[in-house]
Amino acid sequence: MVVVSVTLAMFHYFSLCSRRTSFATLVARARRLVPEPPERSITAEEGTRLIRDVQRGLRLARVFDYRTRPDCLPRALASFVVLQRGGLRATLRIGARKFPFAAHAWVIVNDIAVSDPEAEWMKYQPLLTIP
């Protein structure tokens, strides 16, 4: 339950920051919150539980988010930070598609999308990858 709460808090933090700061500043803040290298190694079972709890926190964030269209960047940054601090090697990806033009952010752990369903992020060409 702690991971769910931390994910929800991180989502709201990045959501509020995204209204006032640049993309570069948001990514820099996320990077400062992530230890290099991970503080500890975790088992496969702990990793699965961590991913499940982060996804649960992101679902709650969607419920409590008052905007009509939730923003993918705060979701991706929150899950990236919580997963990295939890000991998983998560990768933040930012991508775009040409027509109709759209940009998207998502998090991958071992080729599995954490912050979005696979059908969503497969539509985008990755432009920036942050390990």
15-68: pLDDT as tens digits: 888 888 898 899 899 989 987 766 667 888 998 999 999 998 888 887 776 654
What local confidence, expressed as pLDDT, does residue 70 receive? 62
Q: Which domain holds residue 67?
A: 2-130
Q: Bridge-partner residues for 108, per DSSP?
A: 91, 113
Backbone angles phi, psi at 86, to 5 degrees: -80, -10
- Give the tens place of pLDDT for each residue, 99-124: 889 889 999 998 888 887 767 788 89
Q: Bridge-partner residues for 112, per DSSP?
A: 109
21-30 in b/e burial notation, b at 16+ Cβ within 10 A?
A: eeeeebbeeb
Torsion of CA 112, 42, 60, 30, to 10 degrees: -80
User: Whole-model pTM?
Assistant: 0.87
Question: What value does the mean pLDDT take over residues 67-74?
Answer: 71
Q: How many domains does the chain have?
A: 1
Structure token digits, residue 85: 């601090």
What local confidence, expressed as pLDDT, does residue 40 receive? 66
